[in-house]
Amino acid sequence: MHLIIPYAALADMPAVALKCLALPHLRQLLSQMQCTHSDAQGQAAAPATHMPHERAQARALGWPDTGAWPWAALAYPDDPAPQAWLTPCHWQVGMDQVLMLDPAHLNLLDQESQQLLEAMQPYLKEDGLDVQWHSALRWHARGDIFNAMRPASLDRVIGANLKPWMGDEHLPAPLRRLQSEMQMLLYNHPINDARMDKRQYTVNSFWVHGAGAPLPAPNPTPQSGVLVIDALRSPALQGDWQAWQAAWLQLDAEHLRPLVDRADLHLTLCSATAAHTYQRRTPTWLQRLSAALRPTDTSQALLALIPK
């Protein structure tokens, strides 16, 4: 089993908030494990298209290290067509940048999402896209255009300037044109008028992510039981440290406690810039003595995910 925990540490969180976070089951696990893989993006590196937890999941699934990972097709593995997720969203347009707000902040109702998709369907079909409603913030799209693109993931662009990911490699020109058409179409849509009356964010664009055709099963078969725990994601994106700490305590008690004695466990802890993967080890007598005299400090393991 491979357990992946995104947003396990946050760069702008006070160090004291980590040091006073008591996570007994994480501490017990780390005392029995060693770090076997480190994935870090340097401060000066070009913006990556995926977050560390997404790269960790792709690696655990046995996918090639190309960054073109078909997350939508993973949900529809029996469909051989190139696929993608379309997420309705709100872009905040400034003088020299376009910011992506967290789509979760739209609080978009299923009925609103369905009506917006219905209004967009003629334009989508004209561009050869077959788009079906999957959930309020995820529309499932099929089309040849998704086969060769490498879009940035939704988590990567939330709260960020979209400019680095608006080129042909990440978002081909026909999709950028379609986004512009949708901005004009949705500007006076009754759903958005009603949302403005209620002082809610309007839906003024969409983001394409998780594009590609299904990947063939790798050989050898990847480890089974890859599980991503998203409990820390929402409070992390909102910058709510108290809620993030409470979510960590609950995660430690509910998800990590039952795994303390699991022999086949892999554990990956992730921040926005790094991921560290731990595996079980058979400690030497000297390591057992050292662990007894100097208990594992979970805050150090979490702080190690944050670039200095």
pLDDT of residue 186: 92
pLDDT of residue 238: 87
DSSP the chain: -EEEETTSS-TTS-HHHHHT---HHHHHHHHTEEEEEEEE--TTSPPPSS-HHHHHHHHHTT--TTS---HHHHHSTT--S-EEEEEEE-EEE-SS-EEEPPGGGG---HHHHHHHHHHHHHHHHHTT-EEEEEETTEEEEE-GGGGS--PPPHHHHBTSBSGGG-STTTS-HHHHHHHHHHHHHHHT-HHHHHHHHTTPPP--EEEEEEEEPPPPPPSSPPPS-EEE--TTHHHHHHT-HHHHHHHHHHHIIIIIGGGTT-TT-EEEEE-SSEEEEEEE----HHHHHHHHHS---HHHHHHTTS--
The string of pLDDT tens digits covering residues 283-299 is 555 555 555 555 568 88
Tell me the domains of the chain and their CATH numbers: 2-66+221-303 (no CATH), 71-212 (3.30.70)
Q: Read off the pTM.
A: 0.88
Q: Is the predicted pLDDT of residue 70 greater than 70, yes or no?
A: yes
The string of pLDDT tens digits covering residues 8-54 is 998 877 777 777 788 999 999 998 888 999 988 654 445 678 999 99
Q: Name beta bridge partners: 83.
A: 142, 212
The string of pLDDT tens digits covering residues 157-207 is 999 999 889 888 889 999 999 999 999 999 889 999 999 999 999 999 999
Task: Residue 45: count other Cβ atoms within 10 Å of its Cβ.
Answer: 9
The string of pLDDT tens digits covering residues 93-119 is 887 889 999 999 999 999 999 999 999
pLDDT of residue 289: 53
